[in-house]
Structure 1
Amino acid sequence: MMPGDGTMTSILKSLMTEVRAADLRLVPRRADDGAPRPPPFPHGAPPVTYMHICETERFSMGVFLLKSGASIPLHDHPGMHGVLKVLYGTVRISCFDRLERPGGGGGLQAAPPPGPAQAGSLRRSVLRSSAEYTEESGPCVLSPDRDNLHQIDAVDGPTAFMDILAPPYDPDDGRDCHYYKVLAEPEPNPAERREQEVWLLEISQPAHFWCGGEPYPGPEVHL
């Protein structure tokens, strides 16, 4: 997937639509299944595990597995494109965009920001969508400017999804992961507008979230 290359993105999206758990030799897990337990984690078994498939300077590919009730908190992908395809189970993906340009909110009005002590950590943003995805759904696609911040929640049981990022995270090149929380504000009237402007507060990685690793059982990827 190349930034700005709509043809390549369309091809990748079409290919990802066809991917199923069996293609990666994944067996859907039940709610009482646990991931293989490597050495103990400091807080017990991780709520989320990651199967690394491959990574180059241009992209990374892997599979995230979420236990029932688990969540990948609201986070960003600075300067990155991504494609997410559910392999089994159901996830709810809530996507946000930053509104950093004057007038970028399309006329939406957010509540006033909190006091100046938090001003440096605030991001004016808009909730673009919140939808559920299953293995029968098409991929969720993000770009540096659209749906770049999102939260992923497992719905009604364990779930897994394939994840491709281009380029991959690289803190040395300014592509580090940041976490956020939505500051409370009155809910908009759904009859008046679908998009909701909000303030996001940048936070440290939430204590309830950490990600373990487990072996990838699928076919080898030759680069």
Structure 2
Amino acid sequence: MGIETSLVGQKGKEFCEFPKETTNPRLKKNRRRQRKQTMIQTVFETCKEVFSNGRTGFVPRPEDVERLRSVLDRLKPSDVGLSPDMRYFRAEETERTPVITYLHLHECEKFSMGIFCLPPSGVLPLHNHPGMTVFSKLLFGAMHMKSYDWAIEKPCSSVSISGALQIEGKVAQLAKLQVDADFTAPCDTSILYPAAGGNMHCFTALTACAIVDVLGPPYSEPDGRHCTYYLEYPFDSFSVDGIAVPEDEKESYSWLQEREKPEDLAVVGAIYSGPKIVEV
């Protein structure tokens, strides 16, 4: 999920300072790291290894995917200094869409790490992850996830929207539903790939929840990895020559159309205050 750079200007990149070594500094440093290694540090170091060859379209080896998934599966709210009673997760009586808070953990050209903090009813709208492999770990709470991949096996899978639904220069493209389900922590880390696994997804908070997002590589407009948002329409909304699916499969297909960033989407940056990540 991409957010504006200005929202995360304060990234909280603070590093732990250790006492000066007097004898055998390398051995003492290694022992100290082994003794004080935090779970979020383990996540960071695993990401460095898994995404060491990260680039647009890069997919880690299956064994590396499982290794990172296993580490994220063990991550708990306390490992990143979060709890449901924090201000990020409070529901406010307002007519506007709940404000979502993003805690920046790390970003480099290979991967990024962050946490989305959603109050009840908070929504990260349908968006894509071009050329990325994404790991999403629900730390606590419950959410609904809906995700799609492009239905590339279907011929002629795009059509101009006409009438009242027309948006100039935009087309609706056929997509196949991959996930449409509720998730409650603790649950397995979800993974999406550049062309599979639900590359376009949206999250809706059923309760206050926190989601750790690991993207490899991260969003980058200069490299063509721009976050795009979508509207979705039922398959039966349009009749297109050459496109047909069995009646019992129609609910598995939708037309997705690019849209501008939703005006009611409010994502603000905040300083991460949990255990620090040491970039060694």
Determine if the alignment matches structure 1 residue 127 to structure 2 residue 180.
no
Determine if the alignment matches structure 1 residue 181 to structure 2 residue 231.
yes
**Identity across matched positions, percent:** 28
Q: 2: distance between equivalents of 1:45 and 1:127?
A: 25
Amino acid at match of 2:162: G
Contact 1:88–1:159 (CA under 8 A) maintained in structure 2? yes
What runs of 5+ residues in structure 2 fail to find an aligned partner?
1-49, 52-57, 90-94, 238-246
Picking from 150, 156, 178, the partner of 2:201 is 150
Q: 1: distance between equivalents of 2:68 and 2:222?
A: 27
Partner of 1:25: 81
Picking from 210, 214, 226, the partner of 1:164 is 214
Q: TM-score, normalised by structure 1?
A: 0.82
Picking from 256, 264, 272, the partner of 1:200 is 256
Matches within 5 A, 1:57-96: 57-96=109-148
Change (3 A) 1:18 1:111: same
| Partner SS, residue 163 of structure 1 | strand
Residues 60-106 of structure 1 show CA distances to partners (whole Å, capped at 9, x for unaligned) of 0010001111100000010001000011111111010012x3xx14x
Larger helix fraction of residues: 2
Q: 2: distance between equivalents of 1:121 and 1:112?
A: 6
Contact 2:159–2:173 (CA under 8 A) maintained in structure 1? no
Q: 2: distance between equivalents of 1:178 and 1:20?
A: 30
- Residue 122 of structure 1: how far off its partner (Å): 2.0
Q: 1: distance between equivalents of 2:253 and 2:88?
A: 38
Larger strand fraction of residues: 1
| Partner SS, residue 176 of structure 1 | coil
Q: 1: distance between equivalents of 2:220 and 2:117?
A: 22
Partner of 1:11: 67
Partner of 1:115: 162
Q: Which has the higher contact order (CA 8 A, sep 6+)?
A: 1
- Residue 121 of structure 1: how far off its partner (Å): 3.0
What runs of 5+ residues in structure 1 fail to find an aligned partner?
37-42
Amino acid at match of 1:35: Y
Q: 1: distance between equivalents of 2:161 and 2:204?
A: 27
